[in-house]
Structure 1
Amino acid sequence: MQIDIFHDTVCPWCRIGKKHLFDALSESKLEELDIRWHPFLLDNSVPNEGYEFRDFMQQRKGMSAQQLQQMFDYTRSMGEAVGVNLDFEKVRLAVNTTLSHRLIELAPSSLKSQVVEAIYQAYFEEGLNLGNIDVIVAIAKSSGMDSPELAQQLNDKNARDAIAIKSDHARSLGINSVPFFIINNEVKINGSQSKETFNSIINDQLSIK
């Protein structure tokens, strides 16, 4: 089974959706699984040093501070319900996610999903700046990636520009929000959905096979 996942690494619903999907996959009897991660940059205009998080989000969402807090409280509670920690009090910066997506590209297939989770954890639980090369290298090393060429590969301008091109391509396919999942190049799933929804779709695909 092939599963394409379009996401951004600062998207809390992407982390929740990932948890729902992987919980469903853990209950399936899949023998062959090919998960492909695709970048979807929510805002590539953010500089590497980032912006103050709450001010940025208020302007982006057109919300008051109270409305924004209510949104965070709701999202955090939805994460807690499935064992996902989203600590918005720790998040200080709205960040550029290009480097984090580049790291996912560089990760070997056997480590990609683990690296994705490590990136989510660094942002949503530790409040780290994913636009900082040292932060991304540290995430890579903690995940078992320790190449002397890693920093150079991460900073490769053409490769980083390609992340934005891939993100734009996703939008050209009609993907306007994330998370977005495509199973076996056929079934399209928009949003985090539930474990039960993913279970049903996976079982349907298995029955077709």
Structure 2
Amino acid sequence: MLIDIYHDTVCPWCRIGHKHLFDALAQYQQTVKIRWHPFLLDNSIPAAGCEFRSYMQQRKGIEPQAIEKLFDHVRNIGHAAGVKLDFNKIHLAVNSILSHRLIALAPDDIKNDVVQAVYKAYFEEGLNLGDLDVIVAIGTKYGMNSTVLRLQLNGNALADAVLAESTFARLNGITSVPFYVINNKVKIDGSHSSEVFLQALNRAALIEISTKIW
């Protein structure tokens, strides 16, 4: 079973959706391979970041009180899913391209863990994912060589590839994330419940079986 995941590391709905997906996979009996694909929500944000609440108010076109209500709504949904989204810790809207480059460089056996660590760094600790030291520290925690990683990320390693893949996703009709494709057949748009993901996994398995039969 193959699952392609299109996501951005600064998207709270992606973190919620991933939790639901992995809850479904815990109940699923087949071996699953996951491929992570970048979808940059806003690559125009500078590496230093910009003030989070002002940015979100402008992006959403709503007043300060409304943005706090939105944060409360998303925080509560995250809590129900079992993930922490601490918007009070987040002071910077950040450019996520560096974090996607880290994910691309991470070996397959630790990639899922690195993805979740990146989400934790932003949504629980409020760290700047555009900061090289932050990103290198995450990779090093999971066994990546800090010297090699720093050299790679100080240069342009995979920057063009990340941008191209994000652009390719948009050109192929993906307009929001999270977005999931199971076995190149079943598509899921959004952070649905684990039950919906489990149904989708079973549907994809049935399609694969029927294809082999015919």
State the TM-score bracket (shorter-chain normalisation). Answer: over 0.9
Q: Does 1:94 align with 2:93?
A: yes
Is 1:55–2:84 an aligned residue pair? Answer: no
Aligned pairs (5 A) from 1:17-36: 17-30=17-30, 32-36=31-35
**Distance of 1:115 and 1:64 partners within structure 2:** 35
Aligned position for 2:71: 72
Judge conservation of contact 1:118–1:143 (CA < 8 Å) in 2: no
1:182 and 1:7 map into 2 onto residues whose CA distance is: 12
More off after superposition, 153-162 vs 175-184: 153-162
Q: TM-score under structure 1 normalisation?
A: 0.97
Give the number of equivalent residue pairs: 208
TM-score by length of 2: 0.94
Q: Which runs of 4+ in 1 moved over 4 A?
A: none
Identity rate, percent? 58
Deviations 1:61-105 (A, max 9, x none): 001001100100000000000110000000000000011000000
Q: What is the 5 A alignment of 1:34-183?
A: 34-157=33-156, 159-183=158-182
Displacement of 1:142 after TM fit? 1.4
1:13 aligns with 13
- Give structure 2 stretches of 5+ with no counterpart: 210-214
Structure 1 contact 128–135 (Cα < 8 Å) conserved: yes
Cα distance in 1 for residues equivalent to 2:163 and 2:177: 15
Rounded Cα–Cα distance in structure 1 between residues aligned with 2:158 and 2:14: 23
- Deviation of the 1:147 alpha carbon: 4.4
Gap regions ≥5 residues in structure 1: none
What code does the residue aligned with 1:151 have?
A: R
Q: Are the equivalent residues in 1 in contact too, given 2:4–2:37 (CA < 8 A)?
A: yes
Q: 2:146 & 2:134 partners in 1: Cα distance?
A: 15
